[in-house]
Structure formats: structure tokens, C-alpha cells
Structure 1
């Protein structure tokens, strides 16, 4: 995985450090833990990522 990815975290994230960051990669999304960046990233293809976001959004309502 390219180490030059531009990761971002949600503006809804608090300041407690318990966050994940996401970077867009062509065809994939890369996710990492803000407290343990050295552990690397998890990658999800676009279908998996959209399914996760849909479920997370529905569950938070």
C-alpha cells in the first residue's frame, strides 16, 4: 500500500483519539486506526465500503 495516501477523519470525530482515518485509493478505501498507524491499513473494495457506510448510517439512526 502506498504510504503517500491522503488520510482524513470525520469532522464528527472527537478529540479523544479513538478515531479511524480513511483514504481513497482507485477502486478501494483504506482505513487505519489513528492511535496505531504503524499497524497499517485495512482495504475495502468499493462494494464492501458502500455496504459498510450504508449499514453504519442506518444503525446510527
Structure 2
């Protein structure tokens, strides 16, 4: 999705819109950048859905 140093203010609404469209209503999106983690694990994106079914759909 994005790599280290590429997190910007547009990422959160983009993730929220995409998840809303594909999986269901999103309550919030949290993005963490871990500077000491390997590049492929340095960006963590957490999405809270309104319904458990949406979260299950998003996981698969």
C-alpha cells in the first residue's frame, strides 16, 4: 500500500473510502508508522467497522 515515509494526510480518508465501498461502513481508521520495523512491516493500518460482518469480509 505505502512504504516508510509515504504516510500523508490523504491516506486515512482514502483507506476509509475504499473500505466503505468494498466491505461496509467504517467507524474509524488509525495509521501508525513504526520507524524501527522492517520496511514491509513499518506501516500499520487499523480499520474499525460498524458491523462484524464487514470486518470479516475485509479480512478475507
Taking structure 2 as the reference length, the TM-score comes to 0.30
Q: Higher relative contact order at CA 8 Å, sep ≥6: structure 1 or structure 2? A: 2
Bigger fraction of residues in helix? 2
